[in-house]
């Protein structure tokens, strides 16, 4: 590159920030470098490319986000606006999301309280969030009551499980006359499939396991989860559309949402290239092995990301609780609502298409 091309970017501004600045101006004019610069790029990638009508957006959620209120304040507005088409979450986020949906409360506190004293007084702490131990007991009781009903007495994908569960949370919100601000109830309303990559690793899974001791027939079909999520991505590409992943944190949900492409290419032997858009917010590092799924460029080597789309990949190293409200506010201010894809209603059809393409590919290759 010539010297002039290196210096072609906007000049760094030192203009004083005004009072009462709008979120668009804050991001565009004052997030200029370092991870503020990456957040600026992330906001524009999301709004200008990922929110195009032909893009199917999967979102992964890791970390204790819903106890901090981010379910109702950010994730639900994204769902309502049609900015999220399918979700992979830890079970813990969905469990704590349920507290709000059934009328229970969590409170601001301090990370420096005496935990022995909190335990003696029946108060639970998630860093600087506090709540009565009875919140857990009440939520567990709600789950056991709901999951003992006849419609849960079978094997099902976690998407079906959360869809059925979302209906109960939605009805509970109606009875309590509280706003529909839970992830589960809104995913039910807008038919957004919600998956949990490790369904046994949360209080929801613990209650399902407890009910098994009482002869419950409820089981999770994790094979269907793997195939359904791959079918969602494959269908987006089959229609000459694009697939984008919006990743908050890392861990199992990140890998699960990204492994859809290796499942299509490597395992099912279908000709594909990888996700088109990769947007991640994380505070982990790749050199310690803690950045699960690693960087976009490393993901290319696995077939998770289309190598031709690397310029459309942004990693912002920051705290989700800081960046999610900014990204959400920016997107809602800059982009009109999208039509809801209602993917949950189409999962059976998408799965058949994936199976047919796999069998055709295997037959043509004459090996597998």
Question: Which pLDDT does position 2 carry in this prediction?
Answer: 85
- Residue 84's domain spans which residues? 55-96+158-170+181-199+222-365
Q: Is residue 30 domain-resident?
A: no
Q: Is residue 124 domain-resident?
A: no
Q: Is residue 333 domain-resident?
A: yes
Instruction: Name the percent of the chain in helix, strand, coil, to the closest 5.
Output: 55, 15, 35
Q: Which stretches of 189-312 are assigned E, i.e. beta strand? A: 194-195, 219-220, 242-248, 277-282
CATH number of the domain encompassing residue 324: 3.40.910.10
Which residues participate in catalysis according to the annotation? Answer: 304
- Whether the predicted pLDDT of 68 surpasses 60: yes
Range name among 9-13, 22-26, 217-221, 282-286 with the lowest pLDDT average: 282-286
- The C-alpha angle with vertex 73 and arms to 72 and 74, in degrees rounded to 5, equals 100
pLDDT digits (tens, 9 = 90+) for 113-124: 999 999 999 999
Question: Which pLDDT does position 168 carry in this prediction?
Answer: 97
Cα 78 to Cα 59: distance, rounded to the nearest angstrom: 10
Total count of domains within the chain = 1
- Whether the predicted pLDDT of 367 surpasses 70: no
pLDDT digits (tens, 9 = 90+) for 289-343: 766 556 777 777 777 777 777 778 899 999 999 999 999 999 999 999 999 999 9
Residue 132 structure tokens = 């009565």
Question: Which residues does residue 282 pair with via DSSP β-bridges, in sequence order?
Answer: 317
Q: Is residue 2 domain-resident?
A: no
> pLDDT class for 365, splitting at 50, 70, 90?
confident
Q: Is residue 319 domain-resident?
A: yes
- Whether the predicted pLDDT of 95 surpasses 90: yes
Cα 125 to Cα 119: distance, rounded to the nearest angstrom: 9
Indicate the burial class of 278 (C-beta count within 10 angstroms; 0-12, 13-18, 19 or more).
buried
Range name among 256-260, 273-277, 308-312 with the lowest pLDDT average: 308-312
Q: Is residue 45 domain-resident?
A: no
Q: Is residue 226 domain-resident?
A: yes
Q: For 97-118, what is the mean pLDDT?
A: 97
Q: pLDDT over 70 for what percent of the chain? A: 98
Q: Is residue 116 domain-resident?
A: no
**Distance between terminal CA atoms of the chain?**
45
């Amino acid at each position: 590159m010539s010297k002039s091309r290196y210096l072609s970017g906007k000049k760094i501004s030192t203009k004083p920030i005004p009072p009462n600045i709008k979120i668009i101006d804050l991001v565009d004019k004052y997030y200029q470098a370092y991870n503020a610069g990456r957040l600026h790029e992330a906001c524009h990638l999301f709004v200008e490319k990922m929110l195009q009508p032909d893009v199917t957006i999967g979102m992964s959620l890791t970390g204790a986000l819903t106890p901090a209120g981010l379910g109702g304040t950010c994730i639900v507005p994204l769902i309502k606006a049609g900015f999220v088409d399918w979700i992979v979450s830890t079970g813990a986020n969905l469990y704590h999301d349920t507290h709000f949906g059934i009328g229970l409360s969590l409170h601001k506190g301090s990370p420096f309280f005496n935990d022995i004293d909190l335990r003696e007084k029946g108060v639970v702490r998630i860093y600087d969030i506090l709540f009565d131990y009875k919140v857990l007991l009440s939520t567990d009781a709600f789950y056991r009551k709901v999951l003992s009903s006849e419609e849960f007495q079978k094997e099902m994908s976690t998407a079906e499980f959360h869809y059925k569960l979302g209906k109960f949370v939605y009805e509970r919100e109606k009875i309590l006359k509280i706003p529909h601000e839970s992830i589960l109830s809104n995913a039910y309303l807008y038919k957004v499939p919600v998956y949990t990559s490790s369904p046994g690793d949360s209080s929801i899974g613990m209650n399902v396991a407890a009910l098994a001791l009482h002869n419950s027939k409820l089981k999770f079909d994790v094979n269907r989860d793997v195939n359904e999520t791959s079918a969602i991505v494959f269908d987006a590409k089959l229609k000459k559309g694009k697939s984008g992943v919006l990743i908050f944190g890392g861990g199992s949900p990140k890998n699960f949402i990204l492994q859809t492409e290796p499942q299509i290419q490597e395992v099912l032997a279908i000709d594909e290239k990888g996700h088109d858009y990769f947007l991640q917010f994380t505070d982990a590092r790749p050199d310690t092995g803690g950045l699960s799924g690693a960087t976009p460029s490393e993901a290319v080597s696995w077939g998770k990301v289309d190598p031709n789309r690397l310029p459309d990949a942004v990693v912002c190293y920051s705290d989700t609780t800081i960046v999610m409200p900014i990204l959400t506010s920016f997107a809602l201010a800059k982009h009109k609502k999208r039509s809801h894809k209602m993917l949950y209603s189409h999962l059976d059809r998408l799965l058949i298409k994936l199976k047919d393409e796999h069998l055709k590919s295997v037959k043509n290759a004459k090996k597998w």
